[in-house]
Structure 1
Amino acid sequence: MINSEKRGTFMTFIQPHTKAYRKASLALFISGFVTFATLYTTQPLMPLFSEEFHISAAAASLTLSISTAVLAFSLLAAASLSDGFGRKKLMVLTATSVLGLLTAFSPAFPALLAMRALLGIFLAGVPAVAMTYVGEEFDPQGLGKMMGLYISGTSIGGMSGRLLTGLLTDVFGWRPALAIIGILSIVLSYLFWRFLPAPRHSSQRHAGVKAACKEYGAVLHRKRLLLLISLGFILMGSFVTLYNYIGFHLMAAPYHLSQTVIGFIFIVYLAGTFSSVYMGKKADLFGSAKMIKIAIFVMLAGAAVTLLPQLALKIAGIAVFTFGFFGAHSIASAWVGRAAGDQRAQASSLYLLAYYIGSSVAGSCGGFFWTHFHWIGIISFISVLLLVSYPVLFLAEFRKKGHSRLHVNQ
């Protein structure tokens, strides 16, 4: 017989086909959309920054890398603050959209970098607590699907930010383009605040430094969980590297594509919007380990196809790569949340820390491979990163089996 306390807890989860479920789904979709639309607006502009400010491709990539680096370390504080002040409140307190708007008025490249660094601090309030909110408030049986829905919002946000930036830049210039996207994000942020249901399962713990260090220490002692967390570095590092330098590749000979056309290439993000939900559901059915291996293989295949010279095949390769990435990220995010237990907020933050450090480090290192080896160097770098994920997954599965045998013997 089901324990009455467990039954009561189950009934307080946000259930499918309810008004609260629809509102929460829309709110989480919006949060992913706004976060990634704002974060990635500068990615298609890197060739323009390189020309306007007379800087190298690697220096231009800092407009994204500095945001993701600051964001990565800010996430550590965001998880603990969310325990003290409530997940929804902290998510709403972010000034992401306003800073995105102010970036348009940066007078010089150092000022632009400073504004993007500030943006990284405020962005941290959303993704860490969003992942934790999903893990705590929704029925665990559908966790993969719901995490996939949140990540589909990030994929559409990333696509829209890049696409709109490219289109608006060709018409008005990059500064008005960033201003328009900032205003749109402010409106969507208000809708997010209106729709997201208040959390019922987040504990209002004291967010002291000592308590936070204790929680993170508990996660850092769990080796299998650390292996799963490291997947964030591998996945995001490879993904951002490809998208950072594809603009340079396609604006050069023999393609000579315009900013608008390159912006429209980011419509392949729709493949990620589908795959994040689809692969999340498949992981619920067939297991995370099996499906994430398949998703990473898809990324490798897509990366290889981009080496072909025909533009149509190159874009198809990007679409396949994007499909695999969002599927793998969706699975890894939900997997970390399930494996973390009581340290879900801290584990999610550490996963995202690895995720955004991968974006910053690999994204900037890609500049070396682009400068010296061009596109084949970029794809070789990405392929090595992705191949590392297979021994990582093998070790994670091995440790799980070893732990299970030990538990049985005891």
Structure 2
Amino acid sequence: MIEARTKGFWRATLALSLGSFMVFANLYISQPLLPMLAESFSLTALEASFSFTITTFMLGLSLLFYGPLSDAIGRKWLMLGSMAGAVLCTLLISQVSSYQHMVILRAIQGFCLGGLPAIAIAYMGDEFARPALTLAVGFYISGNSLGGIGGRLLGGFMGDWFGWSNAFLYMALLSFFLLVIFIYLLPDSKQFQPSRPQLKKVAQDLYDHLKNPLLLTAFLISGFNFFVFVNQYTYATFLLSQEPYNLSASWLGMLFLTYLSGTMGAAFSGRLSGWLSQPAIMALGVCLLIIGSGLMLTSSIGWIITGFLVNAFGFFVAHSNASSWVSHNAKKAKASASSLYLVFYYLGASSGGFYLDIFWRWMGWQGVIFGSWLILVLTLGLSLRLYWYSGRSV
């Protein structure tokens, strides 16, 4: 077993963290480029967002595939194969001249990108001693958030300077470099024991999780929160690229630095758990999302940025507690419960744009905020319902 702070620990942790950075940078690179894609291919806001939402949709679905497959055939080489497929897709996207071909490649890429998130924690569980596991997971999750921010920044700046196709080309080159480092650093699996896939049991476990009201409510809270949160950014890029703001792709990419307040929110929520129950903290996070959305009703770009800072803080407060709640309250098959949580999470991201587009067409940015409030009132109610459920179950 790999012990904490040994050479093997740092090699494996760095490999998985860089791999995580690569995955989420590729996932989110298109978001600041959406107005540019809409102009290049004569698309509506909703049509341009397909290049992002189809990727999150396929990533979410792939999580149910990779977990059982890795239990049967191994962890390391499945992660490598999926990551190599994602890098190849990024390279091919940089060469397309048809938006339909881009969307198809982004769909394939989304499925490939799911390999590492679905398997990395299982790999660490196999190979790391328990004290090392907790430390390594913290670094790995940091790679997730930094990859999301880095991908958007790279997409924004490279797209602004060299065009959207070259943004994907440079991302492919960076991703290939990170993949080579990943291959070199990640130790081979030594503790892995293959097991025959039991599809009937996997399906039964998923069904049992969905029947559990404590878990299902947490799935819905996180899915609907992400449904609103990440797609507000999508429509904000269209708002801020127009009059009177006229922000370039570089500045739109920097908007996603507001995600950094979410890192603080996730850390702060751990302290709150000493005073409040997890459902109460989820409700608090949703309230912050409601307040932050309200701050963005003004036409001041300063207040819009402030609103996103509040929203990111509130979202990650709720998200970190919802994911922990699922892990603690799954009576069996905790890994499949966590996978199902992520399925709801990413399906929320991929479908929220369709919902908010109705309000965008109706009332513009004010409509997006109004539509967001409707969903957030629902998730606030679900959080309070979970608080009531958990109180009864004690």
- TM-score w.r.t. structure 2 length? 0.88
How many residues align? The count is 391
* Equivalence map 1:99-138=2 (5 Å): 99-130=89-120, 132=122
Out of 45, 48, 70, the residue aligned to residue 82 of structure 1 is 70
Once residues 70 and 169 of structure 2 are traced to their aligned partners in structure 1, the CA distance between those partners, rounded to angstroms, is 30
Out of 356, 359, 376, the residue aligned to residue 366 of structure 1 is 356
Instruction: After TM superposition, give the deviation of residue 109 of structure 1 in Å.
Output: 0.7
Out of 44, 64, 80, the residue aligned to residue 56 of structure 1 is 44
Instruction: Tell me if the contact between 2:287 and 2:380 (Cα under 8 Å) persists in the aligned partners.
Output: no
Instruction: After TM superposition, give the deviation of residue 246 of structure 1 in Å.
Output: 0.8
Instruction: Tell me if the contact between 2:56 and 2:346 (Cα under 8 Å) persists in the aligned partners.
Output: yes
> Which AA in structure 2 matches 1:80?
P
1:67 aligns with 2:55: yes
Instruction: After TM superposition, give the deviation of residue 230 of structure 1 in Å.
Output: 1.8
Instruction: After TM superposition, give the deviation of residue 269 of structure 1 in Å.
Output: 2.3
What is the root-mean-square deviation of aligned Cα atoms in Å? 2.9
Q: Cα–Cα, structure 1 residues 339 and 196, in superposed 2: closer, same or farther, change >3 Å?
A: farther
Q: Cα–Cα, structure 1 residues 203 and 295, in superposed 2: closer, same or farther, change >3 Å?
A: farther
Q: Percent identity?
A: 33
* Worse-superposed segment, 204-213 or 32-41: 204-213
Counterpart of 2:364 in 1: which secondary structure? helix
1:155 corresponds in structure 2 to 145
Once residues 141 and 332 of structure 1 are traced to their aligned partners in structure 2, the CA distance between those partners, rounded to angstroms, is 24
> Which AA in structure 1 matches 2:44?
S
Question: What is the CA deviation profile of residues 315-334 of structure 1, one whole-angstrom value per residue up to 9, with x for unaligned ones?
Answer: 12212212222333233223
1:343 aligns with 2:333: yes
Once residues 15 and 273 of structure 2 are traced to their aligned partners in structure 1, the CA distance between those partners, rounded to angstroms, is 24
Once residues 399 and 130 of structure 1 are traced to their aligned partners in structure 2, the CA distance between those partners, rounded to angstroms, is 32
Counterpart of 2:330 in 1: which secondary structure? helix
Counterpart of 1:105 in 2: which secondary structure? coil
Out of 206, 210, 214, the residue aligned to residue 200 of structure 2 is 210
Instruction: Tell me if the contact between 2:4 and 2:132 (Cα under 8 Å) persists in the aligned partners.
Output: no
1:34 aligns with 2:6: no
Instruction: After TM superposition, give the deviation of residue 195 of structure 1 in Å.
Output: 4.4
Once residues 192 and 210 of structure 2 are traced to their aligned partners in structure 1, the CA distance between those partners, rounded to angstroms, is 22
Q: Cα–Cα, structure 1 residues 30 and 370, in superposed 2: closer, same or farther, change >3 Å?
A: same
Out of 87, 91, 101, the residue aligned to residue 97 of structure 1 is 87
* Worse-superposed segment, 341-350 or 22-31: 22-31
Once residues 193 and 279 of structure 2 are traced to their aligned partners in structure 1, the CA distance between those partners, rounded to angstroms, is 30
Question: What is the CA deviation profile of residues 253-277 of structure 1, one whole-angstrom value per residue up to 9, with x for unaligned ones?
Answer: 1111112221222222222334334
1:354 aligns with 2:344: yes
- TM-score w.r.t. structure 1 length? 0.85
1:243 corresponds in structure 2 to 233
Instruction: After TM superposition, give the deviation of residue 159 of structure 1 in Å.
Output: 1.3
Q: Cα–Cα, structure 1 residues 273 and 197, in superposed 2: closer, same or farther, change >3 Å?
A: farther
* Equivalence map 1:136-175=2 (5 Å): 139=130, 149-175=139-165
Once residues 226 and 319 of structure 2 are traced to their aligned partners in structure 1, the CA distance between those partners, rounded to angstroms, is 8
